[in-house]
Amino acid sequence: MSRLSNSRGFLLTLKTGREDGGLIECTAQAVGGAGGAYEEETTTRRPNPYDPPYLNQPSSEIDSAEHGGPPGPLTTTCPCGMANKKISKIVGGKETEINEFPFAVMLVLRGSYSPFCGGSIISRQHVLTAAHCVIKYIQHGITVIAGDHDYTDDRETDARLVVDVRQVIMHSEYPSRSEYDIALLVLDSPLQYNKYIAPVCLPHRQLNLEGQYLKALGWGRTSPHGRGSSFLKKVNVRALSLSVCQDYAGVERTERHQICTYSKMKGLGKGDSGGPVIWLNKDTNRYTLVGLPSYVFFYDGNEHILPDVSTDVSSFLPWIHQNMRSNRFRLYI
């Protein structure tokens, strides 16, 4: 899922209003660990006048005081977006702690335990994923595995829960329009929440995350031509502007249905599709699902040059609400 390179940098992001922007007055805010501190090694790279501008971004290795555990300054009654981890430095592309992110699930073919994609729990009976993950497997039968970490080790955790998918709801515009790469999975039986199986938060309105640090989770490939990871991995990336992404990844910027992410020598890989791309809401200290990995570009060698593209979850909130409403399950936002 990642190829790692460190760099030193300090980024000031100009934010207006709340997390999704606004008007009125602007404040400069350091994006990083506690107090905005960075602790990074340095590296050098020969400048190239034809390099895309995002290649010069600082590394996304950040202090994980972005915890997802203790409450933030803004209290919330929504039991979503929590993580099970210690406060320690997070380095992108590392193995997660066992059951660290209780909302991350694997999608497997019925009767199998090897994941072909990921997904996120958003209610007791609903998982959100990418449509391209499931479109060719609907007739075969799809199963969700929650509460797992390393699917090759049966002794690692006793929280594993296997639930069949009863119904697959894909966006009606997919596949004719690739930017509508989103699907809602309805589970055959409700999940029983506990410390290791719990929902992620959803945005409550469309977000503008340009320049923000995001975290991607998955069991996908760790190199362009390698095999998928047997255990859940995490990597820190940064959201790019759609105008930059349009030039280098071909996204449609007039309709905000996608988000682009990039980080030096690391990013998403095959098999990470549909899994969680999350953003830490600093007000609540809870993780919010903002992206569903849609497509990545493969490279020879260890270069990672082009951005990764994910479906923008916040653009599809009405669609998500509408398709969950008939089941009458509470949606955590």
204 is catalytic: no
Residue 144 pairs in a beta bridge with: 107, 163
Dihedrals phi, psi of 324, to nearest 5 degrees: -95, -20
Residue 153 annotated in active site: no
Quote the CA–CA distance of 57 and 211 in Å, as a whole number: 10
State the number of CA atoms in the 13 A half-sphere of 229 facing the CB.
25
The residue from 67, 126, 132, 304 that is catalytic is 132
Residue 218 carries which side chain, given as an amino acid letter? G
Spatial neighbors of 10 by CB under 8 A, at least 6 apart, are: 30, 32, 36, 38, 58
CB 320 within 8 A of CB 269: no
**φ and ψ at residue 14, rounded to 5 degrees:** -85, 115
User: Is the distance from CB of 120 to CB of 133 less than 8 angstroms?
Assistant: no
**CA–CA distance, 214 with 307 (Å, rounded to integer):** 13
Identify whether the C-beta of residue 279 lies closer than 8 Å to the C-beta of residue 212.
yes
148, 171, 181, 294: the catalytic one is: 181
User: Pick the catalytic residue: 273, 294, 310, 315?
Assistant: 273
32/140 Cα distance (integer angstroms):
44
Q: Are strands 258-262 and 183-187 parallel, antiparallel or unpaired?
A: unpaired
- The distance of Cα 269 from the centroid of its chain, to the nearest Å, equals 12
Say if CB 312 and CB 291 are below 8 A apart: yes
321 catalytic? Reply is: no
Q: DSSP E strands: which ranges in 48-141?
A: 62-63, 89-90, 94-95, 104-109, 117-123, 126-129
Catalytic residues: 132, 181, 273
